[in-house]
Each structure stands twice: as structure tokens, then as C-alpha cells.
Structure 1
Amino acid sequence: MEDGHRKTWKTFTNHIQNISQLSIYYLLFLIVFILCNSAFSWEVIKTDYFTVFYDREYEWQAKKFLQSLEYYRPKAEKLTGNIKYHTPVIVEDIGTTSNGMTDPIFNRINLFTYPPSASVLGAGTQSWEATLSLHEYIHLLHLSKVGGIMKVPKALFGNLFMPNLFSLGWVVEGITVYGESQISPYQGRLNDGYYSSYVASRVKDDRFPSILKAAYPPMEYPYLDGIYNYGGMFFDYLAKTYGEDKFREFFDRYGSSIPIVMFNFSAKQTYGASFKDLWKDWQQYEYDRFKDFDMEGKKLTDNGWYTFDLA
């Protein structure tokens, strides 16, 4: 009887091992099949300035992204004073995330296909492809702008040694929000009304954000959106007061100097004042502009950001 039990148990364990081996082989085959199928489904479109990679399912959107990149490329080059060739652009679907990503270290742009709702970027988004393409390309040209003596460490040690990489968040996002809002009077976050209304409400409450709050967002509304809101509005003020040409002049000066240390010095060379003083000038400009601002409706709560069960 014991020999029979041992034989039955051995047969059972052998059977389990065979199933396990078959499962592993099947899983490996499935992984290889998926990877191969995915690899062979990617296509490429090339121009002198961009190399666009995309899944053939999104060919129409990839062409729209490329069309927007080529059409608005001169605008991005004018704002930043930089030009690049054969930039890799990856168009991909990562789900219901409306965003993009620029990697100046490895010199590439990722554009995500899912368009935003009005509650994300406001009503000023006529074309997701145009807004996202220009926004991300300005990022790449701005952050990779290098000149003067700083070309030496970049050549020796790589793209980590690019001074404009070491910019505050409101500078990095401010120029892109400003740029995307120049596409048309009905496109971009500065043309939506939300950003200006929020700044106006801060003016009314006498709580204008300091440049420190813009640089290091506190745990209060609008959280990380502050660098987009305040940065975009500040750059809009600088453009109206000093002209767009000063942007590329500042990026060139800072991109040719020691990062962080020369940040404010580059501003003084460009604008004749530090960013701290320019921020105060912008604050006065907004106080004058919104001195009679009044919000319609009734305020329901003084606490929190999202408040539920108001009834």
C-alpha cells in the first residue's frame, strides 16, 4: 500500500511539474509574441526637424502632431533663441492621461494622445495636438539652450550640464504656458479666463502670491498648478512690458553662465532688475488692473479646497 501511495504521489508531482513547465513556456511565448507584435506595429515619419514614432493605430494623430510641430516650430525657436534638428518624438496612448513629457537629457519628447476635458485645461483648447506640441517643444528648446563657455562642460560631460535645466518651476512652465497661449486668442490657458480670474481673486483678498510661493508651492490651492498659473501670467506681463525678445536674451545669458548662481544676475542684465523686483512690479500691475474686480455668486465655505455635502 505504501508503495502504491508513493507511486501515486510521484505521478501527481510529475504531472504538476509538467503543467508548471508548460505554463512557463506558454507565458514566455505570450510575452515574446506581444513584444514582437508591438515592435512591428510601430511606424516612423521623418522631417529635417523631427522623427516621429507612433503605433500605426494612431497614424492620423501622429500626423496632426507633426503638422503642429512643423507649423509652430518657428514660434518656439523665436521665443527661446534655440533650434534643433531630428528631434525624436514618441506619440503614444497611456490611457486617460492628458499630458506630455519632455526629456532634455536624452533629447526626446513624449506626446500622449488622450485629449483633456474642459475642467483640466479650461475651454481654451481648440486643438490638443497644437497646444501639447508647442508646449513640449518650447520646453526642449528652452532647457537645452547652451552658449558661451558652458558649451565646454556640456561637450565633456553631457546634457546634465545645461544651465537652463537649473531654472525655477515658474520659469520652466511660465514660458510654455505663455507660448501655447499665442496660438490664437481662443487657445491656451492664458486665454481661458481661469488664470486671470484666480489672480484677480487673490488681488481682491490681498493675498497676492510671493515669488517664494511660486518657487516652492505650499500645501494650499492651487498646489503645483501655481508654477503654471503664476509663471504664465508673469511671463505675459514681461512680454507686454519688455517685449518677447527679452525671453531669448535671458535664456541665452543664463544658458551661457554658471547655473543657479547667475540666475538673478542674468535677469538684471536682461531686464535691468532682479526677478524679485520684477515680481513686485507685476504685483502692482495686477492690483491696478483688478482693483474693481468682484466675483459673482455667493461664497459657500471659507475652509478647504474640495468641500462635500454642502446641503
Structure 2
Amino acid sequence: MHRFLIGLVLCACSVMHTAWAHMPEDSALLMPRPFQNWKTLETDHFRINYRDRHLPFAQRMAAVAEKVYAKQTPRLQWEPESKTEVVIIDSYDGSNGGATVLPFNRFFIFMNAPVEGELLDNSPWIEQVFTHEFVHILHLDQSAGGQTTLRNIFGRFFFAFPQIFSPAWVSEGIAVYEETDADKQFGRGQSAFYDAMMRAEYQKGFRSFSQLSYQGYWGTDWPSGQVYLYGYYFYEFLSAQYGEEKAFEYLRNWNSNIIPWRMQSRAYQVFGLNAEALWQQYQAYLENKFEQQMARLPVVDYEPVVEGGRVNANPVWMADGRFYYYREDGRHHPSLQVIDADGNDSKVTDVLEYQHIDVHP
């Protein structure tokens, strides 16, 4: 319990790979209150920390945890040295999670299951989110050669974890790829929603290697979470073009990397191509895949109601022709907007992150 409480205090100070969209703006919602009545349920490889009233949820998670461990550790060829800390949080009604390897391996999961959007498929929520977050741990915790030596001498300090310098599309892509099981129809990678978003990208023109590598997690235009979308299809491409083992070799290639962000050597050492050339092959793969999909779909004539923004969601129409919606463009504060019957768009008020709304005349 002492180690767990230290982790709660350090949570805000360490590198955090948040794995799912729409985190709350008030970061205090992510922080468990350390003086509440916390319990710990231990399995062979995890310590699941929960408030006493959430024991049934923790037990269901424990049943999933070791199954995920047995599946994912051989696939990523990595086993953490100690048990991974897992924190169950009920302070926010979002469907989300986040993982970090500093100062030790841990991740949190919000209890709330998704009710809409890209996470809403028929996957068991606990298994899907647990897989995604634990894959982050298995990826970001890896090291080899000189980096492992540094870690053995100096401990778990920032520069002894070469994988945390991966672009977001690399780390999120492998997590979405591993959460996806096409045979069971689990995960975002097999969803119609992901295909639809990438078809929209096909129509606009696919993003370049530099755009994805330097934009960060969210960007400023739709679709939100492009690093998840492009990252998943990148690993699908590698597996289809070169075989899945080569895809994992590409991931492991940074384990002994001392100089951060060397994407060119990462691609060249595994595939004999520089990063841009590999990305061009990836774009050609996407072009072929989604050109075929588009050819099978009917041509639909439509007119956009709202232009721009990375999230325009949850519209509510009124009898007089007005409608309200949530808007987030990555540049300004999220807001509640209204469009009148003449098409004039104006802000009603700022809001705190993603909101479900209802309107009463």
C-alpha cells in the first residue's frame, strides 16, 4: 500500500501515455484520493487497487488480467520485472484509461463503459481497455543493450526508457492493433467506424509521415485521434506487407536506442528503407484498400452542416429549425454552439471537455 500511495502522488509528475480520447479538463478527476478506503487485489502479475465498494469490478478485472498477460507478453516478447499496478477510478463518467512506466509500471482505468463513438463495439469493455493499457506497459517498458545497463545502474529514470520517445502513432497504433481481434470482432481496428474515418481520409488525401509524427495526440481537424487511426492501419500494413514478426521487430528496434527520435534508422534497419519511403508504401496500401471500399459504396450527395473542427458532436434539433451541438477545434476552449434556422453559427457558452447535452424549449 505504501508503494501504491507514492504512485498516486507522483502520477501527475511522470510521463503519461493517455490511451483514449476525451480526457477531463480538470486533471484532479484523474487523481485517486489516497485517503479513501483503498484495497488491493493481487494476482500473479498485477496489483489491482480499488475502493472497497468496487470489489466485484476488481474481481472481474482480475479474471481478465492474467488472461491478457498470458496472451500479450509472448507477442511483445517482454515481461515486466515486477507486478504492474492497476488503479480503478470512478471519479469521471468517461470511458478511458492511461498508462505510464515511470516511476514504475502502472495504469488506470475508468469504470464507465462506452455508450457511443469509436469505442462502442461488442468487445467486453474490461478486456478491451485492459489489453490496450497493458500493451502500452509492455511496449514502453522495453530496453536492451546500453539502455538496460543504464537502468540497472541509475534506476528507472527518463532516458533509460527509449520507447517513450516513440511518436504517438507508434505507441497508440500497436495498442489498438493488439486490442483488435478480427475473429472475435473485438476492438477498434475491425470496426466499421474506423474504416469510415479512413475512407474520409482517402477522400481528403492521406497524412504525411511528418504530419503524423509531429502533430501530437489530437491535431486540430477531424478525425480526432488520428494517431490511433493511422497507427493501427500502419501495423496492419506492416503485417500484410512484411509479416507480423517484422512488424514487432520494427517496434523492438528502438530498445537499445540512445539518441531519441531516430525514425530513419528504425525503418532502414528493419526494412532497408528510410521512413518516408516506408510511409509511401503505407499510403499506397491505404489507397488500394480504401479505393476498393469506395467503389463498392453508393455515391451519396450531401452538404456539410458544420465546417472544420476536430469534434462536432451530439446535435440536438429544435422545432423552430435551430440546433445545438458540441464543438472542439483544438485551438479554442470547447464550446456549446447553436446554428439558427438561417444557418448562422454562434457560441452559447464554453464547456468543460466533451459534454452530452439536452435542450428544453
Tell me, yes or no, whether TM beats 0.5. yes
- Are 2:91 and 1:90 aligned? no
1:297 to partner: Cα distance: 3.8
SS at match of 1:209: coil
1:231 to partner: Cα distance: 0.7
Return the match for 1:49 from 45, 48, 55.
45
Aligned-pair Cα RMSD in Å: 2.3
Relative to the length of structure 1, the TM-score reads 0.80
SS at match of 1:290: helix
C-alpha distance in 1, partners of 2:34/2:307? 51
Percent pairwise identity: 25
Deviates more, 1:165-174 or 1:187-196: 187-196
**What is the letter of the counterpart of residue 260 of structure 2?**
I
SS at match of 1:194: helix
Matched-pair contact (CA < 8 Å) for 1:196–1:233: no
1:211 is matched with 209
Return the match for 2:130 from 133, 145, 148.
133
Deviates more, 1:66-75 or 1:278-287: 66-75
Return the match for 1:113 from 111, 115, 121.
111
SS at match of 2:117: helix
1:227-266 equivalent positions in 2, closer than 5 A = 227-260=227-260, 262-266=262-266
Return structure 1 stretches of 4+ with deviation > 6 angstroms. none
Matched-pair contact (CA < 8 Å) for 2:118–2:194: no
The answer for unaligned runs of 5 or more in structure 1 is: 1-33
Larger Rg: 1
Relative to the length of structure 2, the TM-score reads 0.69
Matched-pair contact (CA < 8 Å) for 1:268–1:274: yes
SS at match of 1:121: coil
Matched-pair contact (CA < 8 Å) for 1:79–1:247: no
1:295 to partner: Cα distance: 5.8
C-alpha distance in 2, partners of 1:58/1:243? 42
Higher RCO structure, 1 or 2 (CA under 8 Å, sep 6+): 1
C-alpha distance in 1, partners of 2:78/2:257? 16
- Are 2:66 and 1:62 aligned? no
C-alpha distance in 1, partners of 2:214/2:298? 28
- Structure number with higher strand proportion: 2
Are the structure 2 counterparts of residues 259 and 300 from structure 1 closer, same or farther at C-alpha, using a change threshold of 3 Å?
same
C-alpha distance in 1, partners of 2:190/2:144? 33
Matched-pair contact (CA < 8 Å) for 1:144–1:162: yes
C-alpha distance in 1, partners of 2:92/2:195? 31
Matched-pair contact (CA < 8 Å) for 1:46–1:52: yes
SS at match of 1:115: coil
